[in-house]
Amino acid sequence: MTLTNGQIAELLARAEQDEAPGTNRRTALHRASRAALFWPEEAHALAEAGPLTELRSVGPWLAGVIAGLLASAEPPPDPPEARAGFLTLAEVRATLREHPEWAAELRSDLQMHTTYSDGRASLREMARACFDDLGYHHILITDHSKGLPIARGMDEARLAAESAEVAALNRELEVDGDARRVLHGLEMNLSPEGEGDMDPVDLRHLDVVLGAFHSKLRVADDQTNRYVAALRNPTFHVLAHPRGRRWDVRVGLRADWPAVFDAAREQGKAVEIDGFPDRQDLDVELAALAGEAGVWISIGTDAHHPRELANMEFGLAIAIRAGIPRDRILNYLPVEELLAWAADRE
């Protein structure tokens, strides 16, 4: 049996639990388990060509542990829910190699953060990386709103200041004859009742608004009514990282997902595939259900630094594996069509 990197990650996570807390071995196993999600090629292939110590977070001791796992005939266990359904970078890149047109035709990234909230790069730095390094036609800046102070969420005054900078940057691009464009959005915090935390008047000046739950994400009972109430809120366009799951941290919210996606379609909302590797929310299974419901899909990297813009690989691979047609994904629309889509939902 050939183990995938995802299966190795699960086996290392389980081995971690057998080590005493605070020991070097436990720490090494924990780091390597998460790092396995980001190994660019399958470990079993590398083992045939070179040392496993070339893998991220793998030293000589762990290389021996992984070699032992690869040599074992034991079937790998199914991961617990908090670690289930996550693609590895090796799987992502294998998928994209089979479908190169997905990256070639991509026009935009529709979720990212700057130093206006909890990002670690300025608005202009993020725009420069998207335009000059990645070749995007347009991007959507989506800093956090005031209901999330832990993420330095913006109030209406800071939102207006960010709008002014976006407008200034777009004027500079226009003067230079550059057709690329920065769109101004927001990741608006939604209460458990589905209410936004910003003045709706101020939201009217934005191009596309994301709405996201950031509280009471560990409740175990069905949250379908919560989603339906939120989707009836007319002040946002895209339901961002719908479940609020995080790898090995929380499983996120539970709901009757076909009913949620039907409500999104009826209300004219899009749902997001968040490409951040620890989120992958929606995952392939739920993204496929959203596609079957005919809902519009938005893909965002949730990047807080230019290097995290590469998370788009995960979002694209999820969409491909879920069978989402590109003509139902907002990132493939020309900017005029994206803005018309958003305006039609106000």
pLDDT digits (tens, 9 = 90+) for 157-209: 999 999 999 999 999 999 999 999 999 999 999 999 999 999 999 999 999 99
Q: What pLDDT sits at residue 50? A: 83
Distance CA 167, CA 328 (A): 28
Strands 270-274 and 296-300: parallel
List, for residues 273-319, the tens digit of each pLDDT value. 999 999 999 999 999 999 999 999 999 999 999 999 999 999 999 99
182 and 265 housed in the same domain: yes
Which residues contact residue 53 at a Cβ distance below 8 angstroms, ignoring those fewer than 6 apart? 59, 60, 63
Tokens 């639990």 sit at which residue?
17
- Which of 26, 44, 79 is the last residue in one of the domains? 79
Q: Does residue 179 form part of some domain? A: yes
Mean pLDDT value of segment 251-272: 98
pLDDT by residue (tens digit) across 32-69? Answer: 999 999 999 999 999 988 899 999 999 999 999 999 99
The total of other beta-carbon atoms located within 10 Å of residue 128's CB is 14
Q: What is the pLDDT of residues 120-164, one digit of tens each?
A: 999 999 999 999 999 999 999 999 999 999 999 999 999 999 999
pTM of the model: 0.96
Considering the domain architecture, whether residues 214 and 245 belong to the same structural domain is answered as yes
Average pLDDT of the residues in 212-239: 97
- Please indicate, yes or no, whether residues 168 and 250 belong to a single structural domain of this protein: yes
Partners of 297 in beta bridges: 271, 329
Please name which of 53, 7, 68, 59 lies closest in space to residue 29, comparing C-alpha atoms.
59
94 inside domain = no
Quick check: 93 and 277 in contact, CB under 8 A?
A: no
- Do 113 and 62 share a domain, yes or no? no
103 and 135 part of one domain: yes
For 75, the domain range is: 5-79
Residues 105 and 160 in one domain: yes
Is 88 part of any domain?
no
Within this chain, do residues 119 and 33 fall inside the same structural domain, yes or no? no
User: Is the sign of the CA dihedral 160, 162, 163, 167 positive or negative?
Assistant: positive
Q: Are residues 61 and 164 in the same domain?
A: no
- 44, 79, 114 — which closes off a domain? 79
Token pair in block for residue 203 = 């939201």
Same domain, 197 and 119: yes
Q: What pLDDT score does 346 carry?
A: 64
Kindly give, in sequence order, each residue whose CB lies less than 8 Å from that of residue 8, ignoring residues fewer than 6 positions away. Answer: 36, 43, 66, 69, 70
Domain assignment present for residue 87? The answer is no
Pair (331, 264) in one structural domain = yes
ω into 29 cis (within 30 of 0): no
- The sign one gets for the Cα dihedral 308, 310, 316, 317 is negative
Do 132 and 36 reside in the same domain of the chain?
A: no
89 belongs to a structural domain: no
84 assigned to some structural domain: no
Instruction: Read off the CATH number of the domain in which 261 is found.
Output: 3.20.20.140
Spatial strand order of the sheet with 138-141 comes to 108-109, 138-141, 181-190, 208-213, 238-239, 270-274, 296-300
Domain count, the chain: 2
Identify the CATH number of the domain in which residue 39 sits. 1.10.150.110
